Structure 1
């Protein structure tokens, strides 16, 4: 699988944001909602993680 610089940076930013959100979610009460969407710019599926407080 070949990744361009833009795709690599986008995937690295997504991983970093998921880790940051997971730390926030464990500190306070709430619910995490994970949604998969097709990103036309990347040409692949992308995960969107939302945190909803109680």
Structure 2
């Protein structure tokens, strides 16, 4: 069997989709909270992301 680039992409996309759908459906609803904080050691702002249940 010859596998070209298009066939590989279609096949891997189908596999990833079938694996991801049950995980998305089973996840509990969550909220993402993004906070910007000044980090003195870095000398710049950095983003802190928290995931909290709804």
Q: Indicate the TM-score class for this superposition, using the shorter chain for normalisation.
A: 0.3 to 0.5
Question: With structure 1 as the length reference, what TM-score do the two structures score?
Answer: 0.48
Bigger-Rg structure (1/2): 2
